[in-house]
Amino acid sequence: MVKILRILQVSFRALTRNKMRSFLTILGIIIGVAAVIAMVSVGEGARKGIQERFASMGTNLLFVSPGSRQFRGVQTGAGGYVTLKPEDAIAIEQNCDAVAAVSPSISTRSQVVFENKNWNTQIQGTGEKFPEVRKWNVSDGNYFDETHVATAAKVCVLGSLVKQNLFEDEDPIGKTIRINKIPFKVIGVLESKGEQGGFFNRDDMIAAPYTTVMRRLRGVDYISSIDVEAVAADMTDEAQSQITELMRERHRIAPGADDDFQVRNMSDVAESAAESSQIMTILLGSIAGISLIVGGIGIMNIMLVSVTERIREIGIRLAVGARERDILLQFLIEAVVLSVGGGLIGIVIGIGVSRLMKYVPTFESITSVVTPGSILLAFLFSASVGIFFGYYPARKASRLDPIEALRYE
């Protein structure tokens, strides 16, 4: 033990003798570890944000979306065929007693113009019960009603970001905007949901009656999905089976054949969204991890140079009685001190970078989360990089022949 401490001391001294070189060597590890921690914390923050966003949408929400359907023996992919009609939505609302409200949904992107300003945004076609189903109310004016939907009225409700962009401080209620050159009367403004840890802003949209979007903007007779509100959170499973039964009947699906639609509840959707951001975290983390490996190669390179430079020293140590494993340990400790030192500095910088991330425009919505797990991972990874890449040079040093090493000039 005493010996290991003293060898550690020897290693430290050797490293501080070449301060500049040691610093440049560990720079690779510093950058690698800092990148891993910053990337993972951003990814983790995005995941948390997505979860929070879905939680805020309510837990008794279900989605009905088109599934795969067989057409003359050819199976289409999920969502690859339009199978949902507005009548399906009406039938669900009327026949399923576990369902409180429905809102058909179809969207399109379009350029919107008001006077000399214009903006490209999502036009979300919804039913009149959208505010109830999505727990999203107007902050100003009114949402459109049943009559607007029935007559495919050219009215719209602005998301707060669109309102801000087109009207700034002006009152938009009663004004007319043009969506795809068609005039729409603004009757309300939605309350701001804010940017909650996502990569898109939910306030960047305009709501209009789904009938209007179908007929006047898209020119189609189908809808892309149906938002369903169950009567209570614990009734979502019941609502799900009622909807499935009704839809199979309506779509004349033979017993045993696959559904041509999907019914998913909020927790399914939240889970899959969280999963995809998890994948992104892993991806970001592994790209950063590659830079750690590159840093490890840098350590190996410098350790090999260092062994060559110090052949005489190794010879002297062997002559006065150092065993192979003493030399191996000395050089291995040097490599590990480099990588762990770089790792620790990298952790500090990584935490700093992830704290500063919210000042970068693209990431401002993400509250990065530095987890103890990612710190531990980065630390252990950098230590093992040191052992892995330090072993070969250290072994090379320990296998030197003392006589030749002593004669080496």
Partner 1 sequence: MSEKVIVLENIARIYQVGEIEVQALRGISYNIERSEFLAIMGPSGSGKTTLMSILGLLDRPTSGQYLLEGEDVSVLSKDRMAAIRNKKIGFVFQNFNLLSRTTALENVELPLLYSNVSSKESKEKALAALANVGLKGWEYHRTNQLSGGQMQRVAIARALVNEPSIILADEPTGNLDSKNGAEIMDIFTRLNREQEITLVMVTHDPVIASYARRRLYLKDGQIIREEINGKADGRVLVQGG
Question: Is 376 exposed, middle or buried, given 0-12, 13-18 or 19+ CB atoms closer than 10 A?
Answer: exposed
Q: Which of 77, 321, 361, 372 binds partner 1 (CB under 8 A)?
A: 321
Counting every residue written for the chain, the total comes to 409
The CA distances from residue 184 to 107, 114, 206, 406, in Å, are 16, 10, 11, 91
Q: How far is CA 360 from CA 45, 196, 363, 383, in A?
A: 14, 16, 6, 31
In Å, how far from its chain's centre is CA 404?
Answer: 58
- Decide: is 352 part of the binding site for partner 1 (CB under 8 A): no
Question: Which one of 233, 290, 319, 360 is in contact with partner 1 (CB under 8 A)?
Answer: 319
Size of interface with partner 1, in residues (CB under 8 A):
24
Is 256 a residue that touches partner 1 (CB under 8 A)?
Answer: no
Q: Which is closer to partner 1, CB of 13 or CB of 252?
A: 13
User: Which of 312, 356, 371, 376 is close enough to bind partner 1 by CB under 8 A?
Assistant: 312
Site membership for partner 1, residue 322 (CB under 8 A) = yes
Q: Which of residues 190-229 bind partner 1 (CB under 8 A)?
A: none
Out of 153, 284, 318, 328, name the contact with partner 1 by CB under 8 A. Answer: 318
Among 311, 313, 344, 384, binds partner 1 (CB under 8 A): 313
The correct pick among 316, 344, 349, 377 for binding partner 1 (CB under 8 A) is 316
Report CA torsion sign: 60, 61, 65, 67: negative
List, in sequence order, the alpha helices (H) in 253-408: 266-309, 311-319, 324-356, 372-398, 402-407
Binding flag, residue 20, partner 1 (CB under 8 A): no
**End-to-end alpha-carbon separation of the chain, Å?**
34
Examine residue 117 and tell whether it contacts partner 1 (CB under 8 A).
no
* Among the residue ranges 161-169, 279-287, 319-327, 363-371, the one whose residues contact partner 1 (CB under 8 A): 319-327
Compute the least distance from the CB of residue 3 to partner 1, in Å: 7
Smallest separation (angstroms) from partner 1 to the CB of 6: 6
Site string for partner 1, 269-308 (x = CB under 8 A): ----------------------------------------
CA atoms in the 13 A half-sphere facing the CB of 143? 24
| Beta-sheet pairing, 61-66 with 70-71 | unpaired
Exposure string for 82-95, b = 16+ CB within 10 A, e = fewer: ebbbbebbebbbee
H or E stretch covering 110: strand 99-114
Q: Is 317 in the site for partner 1 (CB under 8 A)?
A: yes
Per CB under 8 A, the list member of 244, 294, 326, 388 interacting with partner 1 is 326
Using DSSP, state whether 278 is helix, strand or coil: helix
When the beta carbons of 315 and 390 are compared against partner 1, the nearer one is: 315
Distance (Å, rounded) from C-alpha 167 to C-alpha 177? 10
Closest by CA to 293, choosing from 25, 21, 28, is: 28
Q: Are residues 121 and 205 in contact, defined by beta-carbon separation less than 8 angstroms?
A: yes
Q: Which is nearer to partner 1, 160 or 330 (CB)?
A: 330
Taking the complex as a whole, the smallest distance from the CB of residue 408 to partner 1 amounts, in Å, to 11
Q: How far is the CB of 28 from partner 1 (least distance, A)?
A: 26
Cβ 297 to partner 1 shortest distance, Å: 28
* From 45-53, 213-221, 225-233, 309-317, span contacting partner 1 (CB under 8 A): 309-317
Contact between 7 and partner 1 by CB under 8 A: the answer reads yes
Residue closer to partner 1 (CB basis): 26 or 329: 329
For partner 1, which is the closer residue by CB, 307 or 366? 307
**3 makes contact with partner 1 (CB under 8 A):** yes
d(CA 255, CA 239): 20
Quote the CA–CA distance of 116 and 322 in Å, as a whole number. Answer: 83
Task: Give the residues lining the site for partner 1 (CB under 8 A).
Answer: 2-3, 6-7, 10, 13, 17, 312-313, 315-326, 402-403, 406
